Amino acid sequence: MGGKCQHIAITRAILKNLKILLLNKVISTIDNLIEILIRESLKSQVEGRITLIIAYYLNIIRDINKIIILEKGEVIKRGSHTELLSRRGLYYNIWTSGEK
């Protein structure tokens, strides 16, 4: 049930055409199919908006143009998915660990 409620909340936020979109743990309670649908729809919906996505699973943010990595409240890295992978730091370690 949580996944459905989450999907409805995301849809409402997008339909309101808000200039700022805050998504916290956007895929924490949804199945793989819904995750793919949300990830694909977010690609077009974040255009022209400030979008903050708090994510513990990296699949949802891999297409975002600027990812900021925080550790203990401090910014330690920023860049695209490709840039962060090439730096082989915390982001790379999480991505390659299979905890996407």
How high does pLDDT run on average in the chain? Answer: 78
Paired with 20 in beta bridges are: 50
Listed in sequence order, the residues at least 6 apart from 20 whose beta carbon sits closer than 8 Å to its beta carbon are 49, 50, 51, 52
Sorted by where each begins, the domain ranges of the chain are 1-55, 65-100
pTM beyond 0.85: the answer is: no
The answer on pLDDT for 84 being more than 70 is yes
Q: Return all residues near 63 (Cβ < 8 A) that are at least 6 apart.
A: 39, 42, 43, 81
pLDDT, one tens digit per residue, over 42-76 is 777 777 778 787 877 777 788 788 899 888 889 99
Q: What is the spatial distance between Cα 34 and Cα 42, in angstroms, rounded to a whole number?
A: 12
**Would you say residue 99 has pLDDT above 60?**
no
